[in-house]
Structure 1
């Protein structure tokens, strides 16, 4: 299976969304009862229960056709955004949970604090772009191309470096102790460093699987965003106030 996955990845283009420049211009927060379009923590547009529209805090009265379009738009976002967020979150959770499980019970308290700080920093950087908490999903402003770039070129090296830094430091401390007490150190040393490489391979393989999934769905994702853009344009034509808050867009 792993060999097949590597072969498939070699056949893929570097950017799986090379022909799709669709993007979200605002951050999207999807909750059970509402959707918010946000920038820098400020909400500009809010949809409640898929039928009520608020623009900059002001309720917008809708007729039956407006409401039907708003429902289509809202329900489309509800299906699409959580899928994108979950794909990304599953990848990073796999990497971080693997690192944390390897570090459990190892090292001194000060070392544990240092490693946890590095993990928190990586988690914070990631959560500025993707959040999944219960029934809430957040996607930061970004294009589909940027999502691909983040998962493939930023996240994987960052998690691999974190794994090498933290777990490698653990085994370094263990080697120092073993040198003083174990004449069979060389055999143990090789085994320990193999564990680090296995962890990095596990992280890379898990993220590669997400890239395969992303590639398989790339045309569908792009088409969904184009359909959302069409519905959004129709809404803006009927509700001109929405025109200045263009959420789904195509980057040039």
Structure 2
């Protein structure tokens, strides 16, 4: 899995941090500082700072609205990127293994159950339902860690455990072809393994490129949102010390 995201880590650099936790629910956005609500925006236009409502002028309300809508847009996006990043590897491996052992084989069903369990735990990590999202304070500089993180080793273990089953399934298929000599069976076996590797590489490469584009758009959007936050700090005195987003100019590494 680490090689899956190596290309992304090298291709882009996202100098953006979330300094607080963020909760998005249908009617409000809450920014948490050490577990306590620091800033709350209701219906994209009503501001509370540490529980006290801040009366806003029209220009200030427009800034709060832009900021709230931006957060509502981008937090689900990073949750999607994180989940899809792990699923890229799972789907690719699952597809190849299913093709080799059969979609409904016992080994394939067992593998699918492990992947389904992992995906469920990954979703719970963000505590999100269809209308609610949570993301903890974090640094988006290392997308590899966000994508794989604690699940990387588990994915590698699942795949490693499956290799023996794959080889046995392919070997049995080869052994049943009585018309072939041992040399022909070995050659066919090698071809199957080579094709499996190429198919995995193509499947992962395509999906990883799509995710790279989404990650780039996400970083740029957060950098733009940081400018809105700066204006809020300047024009709304109650927010002068508020700094959810820390970003440097978004850039590609050389």
- Determine if the TM-score, normalized by the shorter chain, exceeds 0.5: yes
Distance change (3 Å), C-alpha of 1:171 and 1:37: same
Cα deviation for residue 37 of structure 1 reads 2.2
> Quick check: 1:167–1:196 contact (8 Å CA) kept in 2?
no
> Please, which runs of 5 or more residues in structure 1 have no aligned partner?
1-8
- CA separation in 2, counterparts of 1:169 and 1:38? 47
- TM-score normalised to the size of structure 1? 0.65
> Quick check: 1:53–1:60 contact (8 Å CA) kept in 2?
yes
After TM superposition, list the pairs within 5 Å mapping 1:37-186 onto structure 2: 37-38=31-32, 43-55=37-49, 58-65=51-58, 66-101=60-95, 102-103=97-98, 104-108=103-107, 112-113=109-110, 116-117=113-114, 120-121=117-118, 124-125=121-122, 128=125, 133-147=129-143, 150-151=146-147, 161=156, 164-165=159-160, 167-175=162-170, 177-178=172-173, 181-183=176-178, 184=180, 185-186=185-186
> Quick check: 1:159–1:203 contact (8 Å CA) kept in 2?
no
> Quick check: 1:99–1:163 contact (8 Å CA) kept in 2?
no
The yes-or-no answer on 1:14 pairing with 2:10 is yes
| Structure 2 partner of 1:210 | 211
Cα deviation for residue 113 of structure 1 reads 4.2
Distance change (3 Å), C-alpha of 1:73 and 1:187: same
Cα deviation for residue 233 of structure 1 reads 1.8
| Structure 2 partner of 1:24 | 18
- CA separation in 1, counterparts of 2:118 and 2:33? 22
Cα deviation for residue 74 of structure 1 reads 0.9
Instruction: Report the count of equivalent residues.
Output: 231
Distance change (3 Å), C-alpha of 1:229 and 1:54: closer
> Please, which runs of 5 or more residues in structure 2 have no aligned partner?
1-5, 249-254
1:246 to 239, 243, 247: 243
Instruction: For residues 11-36 of structure 1, give each alpha carbon's deviation from its aligned partner in whole angstroms, at most 9, with x where no partner exists.
Output: x982622xx63311123233332212
- CA separation in 1, counterparts of 2:228 and 2:164? 48
Distance change (3 Å), C-alpha of 1:229 and 1:52: closer
Distance change (3 Å), C-alpha of 1:61 and 1:49: same
Distance change (3 Å), C-alpha of 1:132 and 1:224: farther
SS of structure 2 residue aligned to 1:50: coil
SS of structure 2 residue aligned to 1:134: coil
SS of structure 1 residue aligned to 2:105: coil
